[in-house]
Structure 1
Amino acid sequence: MHVLNEQFIDNAWVDSHAEARLPLLDPFHEAVIGEVTRGDPLDVDAAVAAARRALPDWRDTPEARRGEHLEAIAAGLEARREGLAELSSRNSGKPLAEAHQDLDDAIACYRYYATQARALGKRQGQADASGIEGFSARRYWDPVGVVGLITPWNFPLVSSAWKLAPALAAGCTVVFKPSEVTPLPERVLAEVVIEAGLPPGVVNLLHGDGEGIGAPLSRHPGIDKFSFTGSNPVGEKVMQAAASGVRPVSLELGGKSPILVTEDADLELTCDLVMAGICYNAGQMCSATSRLLVHERLADDLYAAIDAEMAALRPGAPLAEGTDMGPLVSAMQRDRVQRYLALADREGLHSETPAVALPEQGFFVTPRLYRDVPPSSRLWREEIFGPVLCARRVADDEEAIALANDSDFGLAATVVAGDPDRAEAIARRLEVGNVWCNCDQVAPPHSSWGGMKRSGIGRELGQTGLDAYLEPKRITCRAAT
């Protein structure tokens, strides 16, 4: 049993002020494997106070030294790679291969921002054109201060790396709330932080749910910036709370991403990209390409190929060799997806996907392709967060682009076309933050991540991800006479 009734504050585990506890479940065995504190506003007060005490020294730590700490965090995660991947797989239900990929992505992210920290040091104080004779100017970048970080349950260690690494590189101190659903791998970060030599108070990790930790953290006047990844309703509440004090926010929210397929696309490649876009992590990802827009000449062949691939999937134990798809993360998430499947029946949506043999235990749902779904359908317009794909035939690129852009969301998209130039031309017209042309959903640390419309505010990864935790400062001086 994993008992997580303590909070990591000032480099020490201290008892939570909360009496209430939440169960931790293994989503495959449907068994309780531990408990986690619900958290308490007093825990938030203590963590914010620790972060504020640590801020002056940490912000003055040379950028190259901060980079060394980030390298040490990467090394600490790498040393625990096998055990951490298994822990994450058991806690989240994702297949072990996917958990390994998550961990590798997190390690690469910390290493990338170690290099960015060093580059930031070289940028500091660079001469800037004054624009006025007799004056000189220099440009600096200061950390924004104490930041509150909140991450979801679908990509533990990855989502936190995307926030923690740039915040620490910038010189910020942090109060970090991981999901109460998948806290086990994130908890190990505390051990790694201590081993990496970070001073007390620089990283504070609070377990708990939205009521116990999330809401009081987003309202706390001692937080200078918030970065949140999760649902739109919660993101809006974080934004409302940040309005008090005019504090900046970064929000990575929902998606209903399209995958557009032209008539000359390679059928095998297209099927592979469709399957990866809707079945990776059992469809529990904000960038899931859950709306398929396929040229009418290719539609029937592609529908048949997808149905065959879905029928051939091997759902099973996350740690078992050969498992293609694990269970959904919780009974609540499984029930949410099943409600959409019931809604599809009421809407009269058409599916020919053969039933997949599901394990007798675990929070599994059957992958499903619905053919020729009308754009008015709730399944077409709403984020389901499961392996449910809605498809429509289109007559040409213009129709595909119009339908793709007809969405409240604008996070990501995939374009599959025989002509790479045509694929890129289509991509340029899509109202999304990330487009993949004829390739998997790759998001290396040096890239950019974030969306348009209701998919969020700001970008993570790359130098832009670092700049989100910095305040630019220009110093102009009269030249000496």
Structure 2
Amino acid sequence: MPDIESFGMFIDGQQVPALSGRTFESTNPWTGTTWATMADGGPEDVDRAVASSRAAYEGEWGRMTGFDRARILRRVADAITDDADRLARLEVNDSGKLLREMLGQLQGLGTWYSYFSGLADKLEGRTVPQVNPSTYFGYTTKTPIGVVGAITPWNSPLLLLTFKLAPLLAAGCTCVVKPSEHAPASTVAFAEVLHAAGLPAGVLNVVTGWDRSTGERLASHEGVDKVAFTGSTATGIKVAQAAVANVNRVTLELGGKSPQVVFPDADLDAAANGLVAGVFAATGQTCMAGSRLVVHESVRDELVAKVVARAEAIQQGDPTDAATEMGPVANQPQYEKVLGYLQGARDEGWTIATGGEPNADLGGLFVKPTVVVAEHDATIAREEVFGPVLTAYTFTDEDEAVRLANDTPYGLAGAVWTKDVHRAHRVAHAIKAGTVWINAYRVVAPNMPFGGFGMSGIGRENGSAAVEEYLETKSVYVELTGGTRDPFKLG
């Protein structure tokens, strides 16, 4: 039996146990066995982590210039790349995602810190013309918002933490992160890597915990100045409600039910490839999953047949095996949720073209890649499944395609598949989503903003604007004459 690893929380530059002494187990979804024990932190541990991050913000980190922060972020980028293999394997153990996917993700993750290092020393204010320029001079400055509470999910924990962490560090903030109880280990190891690369103690603290009260304490903590959350829309609403009690800002990256709109002139082989990448990669456990195929009626059968053939050829199995193309669902509750949606599709009478059931040959938490042919009002076409499930339905013309694509409370992502350049841009403009790909799917970059419309969230991550999410603007007026102003006159 392999050794079980042990992880504490990471507070003030070192791993520490929970104040209660409690621990919980992390289960590998591929083997079904315990592979690690984690410190089971509670609200009292959140308190000490926030105090540590506050001290760092008001101390060494807060005194650094943008040039200092940029140098540290560049060292962080190199350190992540150097330790990518170990960090990737921790993520595989926790979530069952493919090692080849996680290796690629971790090997490229340093790019985010390199990119934001280039912004850390460019946080500039501006001069502002005054009504009475001979009397007053006005200018603005940019100030870090302070301590950020980050709450991250179990799918791609380090990538989704980085979407928050890289810009907030560039801005000069500090952070307390509460990773998902289903995938906490890599975040603790990641914090150690960043500290060893030169990030001062307290700038990044990690509180792990099984009970919901731990995350609730962080979201509502009076010592936190902003909350950044990635997860379900239902939970995101609760996080925002907790944060607003302290009049705190929030960034919410929430759920999605993203459309892939395929016109009859599209390259159907390329579209099939994009559909497979969009909904079966990462076992469909990604907020941007392109889980709705909105396809022209004249090519539906041909395209569905291509996707079905691809789906049935997908190799499921050991996530560490280079030949594996799709791993297990990450945890038991999510596995049961996915199967519940598939049973619901049967109960509603929709056609399951392939899959729709557990992979009995593998057991465990494996669900076969699934294609459901339905209508736009099917439950499985409207609600986020967060699993390897594609739902297909048709349109007759461009106007209907846009209407069906936008017939959702979500607005995270979408795609347009067509060879007509005019239509491509026209429809991309009309789709109400934060990211739209043309003849592609599931591409992200540190310099491209990411976030959603509607129930998919608030704010943007990535891109230069992401730093602004962690800054306050201060206005400064300078009286120029040295004279006495009328105390009863404004201006």
TM surpasses 0.5: yes
User: 1:158 Cα deviation (Å)?
Assistant: 0.2
* Counterpart Cα distance in 2 of 1:354 and 1:148: 40
SS of 2:299's equivalent in the other structure is helix
Structure 2 unaligned spans of 5+: 483-491
Matched, 1:87 2:52: no
The residue identity in structure 2 corresponding to 1:291 is R
State the partner residue of 2:54.
Answer: 52
CA deviation after TM superposition for structure 1 residue 262, in Å: 0.7
Partners of 1:278 and 1:290 within 8 A in 2:
yes
Residue by residue, what CA displacement relative to the aligned partner does 1:58-117 show, whole Å, maximum 9, x if unpaired? 222100111111111111111112222222223211111210122134211111111111
Q: Give the C-alpha shift of residue 479 in structure 1.
A: 3.5
How far residue 199 of structure 1 moved from its aligned partner, in angstroms, is 2.0
How far 1:14 moved relative to its partner? 2.1
Taking the aligned partners of 1:3 and 1:354, their CA distance within structure 2 comes to 36
Aligned twin of 2:404: 403
1:73 aligns with 2:76: yes
Residue equivalent to 1:133 = 133
Aligned match of 2:38 in 36, 39, 57?
Answer: 36
Counterpart code for 2:106: L
Are 2:247 and 1:258 equivalent residues in the alignment?
Answer: no
Alpha-carbon contact 1:30-1:361 (below 8 Å) kept: no
Instruction: Quote the Cα distance in structure 2 between the aligned partners of 1:19 and 1:252.
Output: 33
Q: CA RMSD in A?
A: 1.7
Checking the alignment, whether the CA contact within 8 Å between 1:28 and 1:361 is kept in structure 2 is: no
**What SS is found at the alignment partner of 1:351?**
strand
Aligned partners of 1:106, 1:212: CA distance in 2, in Å? 31
1:218 counterpart SS class: helix
Shift of 1:365: 0.1
Query: Could you tell me whether the CA contact under 8 Å between 2:100 and 2:322 is conserved in 1?
Result: no
1:220-231 to 2 correspondence within 5 Å?
220-231=221-232
Which amino acid in the other structure matches residue 434 of structure 1? T
**TM-score, length of structure 1 as denominator length:** 0.95
Q: Secondary structure at the match of 2:234?
A: helix
Letter in 2 for 1:275: V
Query: Which residue type is aligned with residue 168 of structure 1?
Result: L
What residue number does 1:107 align with?
A: 110
| Identity within the alignment, % | 38
Q: How many angstroms does 1:358 deviate by?
A: 5.7
Question: Which residue of structure 2 lines up, in the alignment, with residue 12 of structure 1?
Answer: 14
Shift in Å, 1:12? 2.0
Q: CA deviation at 1:19?
A: 4.5
- Once residues 390 and 128 of structure 2 are traced to their aligned partners in structure 1, the CA distance between those partners, rounded to angstroms, is 51
Distance change >3 Å, CA 43–CA 357, structure 1 → 2 = closer
Number of the residue aligned with 2:214? 213
AA aligned to 1:14 is: V
Per-residue CA deviations over 1:327-351 (Å, capped at 9, x if unaligned) read 1111221111111111111111102
| CA gap 1:7/1:212 in 2 versus in 1, 3 angstroms | farther
Contact persistence 1:449–1:459 (CA under 8 A): yes
User: In structure 2, which of residues 83, 99, 103 is the aligned counterpart of residue 96 of structure 1?
Assistant: 99
1:385 lines up with 2:386 in the alignment: yes
2:315 maps to 314
CA distance in 2, matches of 1:195, 1:143: 24
2:414 is aligned with 1:413: yes
d(CA) in 1 for partners of 2:228 and 2:195?
Answer: 23
Label 1:270 to 1:81 Cα distance change in 2 as closer, same or farther (>3 A).
same
1:4 offset after TM fit, Å?
Answer: 4.4
Give 1:298's aligned residue: 299
Correspondence list, 1:22-33, <5 A: 22-33=24-35
Stretch deviating more after TM superposition (96-105 or 317-326) = 96-105
CA distance in 2, matches of 1:245, 1:184: 30
Structure 2 residue matching 1:297: 3-state secondary structure: coil
1:50 CA drift (Å): 1.0
Find the counterpart in structure 1 of residue 65 from structure 2.
62
User: TM-score of the superposition, structure 2-length normalised?
Assistant: 0.93
Deviation at 1:20, TM superposition (A): 4.0
Residues 294-325 of structure 1: per-residue CA shift (max 9 Å, x gap): 01111111011011000111011111121111
Residues 235 and 353 of structure 1: CA distance in aligned 2, closer, same or farther (over 3 Å):
same
Conservation of the 8 A alpha-carbon contact between 2:355 and 2:369: no
2:366 is equivalent to residue 367 of structure 1: no
Residues 139-189 of structure 1, C-alpha deviations (whole Å, 9 max, x = no match): 211000111001101012101111111111111111111122112221212
Q: 1:160 to 1:354 in 2, by over 3 A?
A: closer
Greater shift after overlay, 469-478 or 393-402? 469-478
413 and 324 in structure 1: CA distance in 2 versus 1, 3 angstrom threshold: same
Q: Is the 8 A contact 1:102 1:157 kept in 2?
A: no
* Counterpart Cα distance in 2 of 1:30 and 1:131: 69
Taking the aligned partners of 1:160 and 1:4, their CA distance within structure 2 comes to: 22
**Which amino acid is 1:70 matched to?**
L
With 198-207 and 381-390 compared, the bigger mean Cα shift is at 198-207
Tell me which amino acid in the other structure corresponds to 1:74.
A
**Secondary structure, counterpart of 2:326 in structure 1:** coil
Q: Is the CA contact (8 Å cut-off) linking 2:252 and 2:459 kept in structure 1?
A: yes
Offset at residue 137 of structure 1 (A): 2.3
Contact map agreement 1:130 1:476 (CA 8 A) in 2: no
- Which region of structure 1 is more displaced relative to structure 2, 2-11 or 43-52? 2-11
How far is 1:459 from its partner? Answer: 0.6
SS of equivalent residue, structure 1 residue 462: coil
The answer (yes or no) to whether the contact 1:29–1:361 under 8 Å persists in 2 is no
Whole-Å Cα distance in 2 between the matches of residues 346 and 285 of structure 1? Answer: 26
Alignment-mate amino acid for residue 59 of structure 1: G
- Return the alpha-carbon distance in structure 1 between the equivalents of residues 67 and 229 of structure 2: 27
Contact 1:318/1:326 (<8 A) preserved: yes
Deviations, residues 242-261 of structure 1 (Å, cap 9, x unaligned): 12121111111110011101
| Residue type of the alignment partner of 2:130 | S
Corresponding residue for residue 146 of structure 2: 145
SS at match of 1:401: helix
C-alpha distance in 2 between matches for 1:321 and 1:5: 28
Look up the match of 1:332: 333
Find the counterpart in structure 1 of residue 432 from structure 2. Answer: 431
May I ask how many residue pairs the two structures share in their alignment? 477
Runs of at least 5 residues in structure 1 that lack an aligned partner in the other structure: none
